[in-house]
Structure 1
């Protein structure tokens, strides 16, 4: 089991402080991510998507199009 937000006193931090804490936690996870094995199913899905792209690189959207759609979303 793990300690709760209240047990750790995180609920007493400001929103800005909690965001910084999350960033610190994420950075610490990313620094150790090489130690975590990638599940075979994830590798297979990435291979499938790469093959689909290589078969038809014209499908999908450019980053610019995706970004524009996200910025214009309600």
Structure 2
């Protein structure tokens, strides 16, 4: 694996700066996509859990007005 990374690094040095920047952007985007998907999956599971609690009638529901009032009290 290290050999491949080393080879790619050496070959990338032959690219023009704009091409290297574009390659770097593509590589970074590929990392963010995986992380973003993990986050999206976690939020989807959380949403399912919360909807299930509402459907079963065990969630404590608060009006938006009360929620905003509580936030205002907390920050003042």
- Structure 1 and Structure 2 fold alike (TM over 0.5): no
TM-score by length of 2: 0.39
TM-score by length of 1: 0.40
Going by fraction, where is helix more abundant, 1 or 2? 2
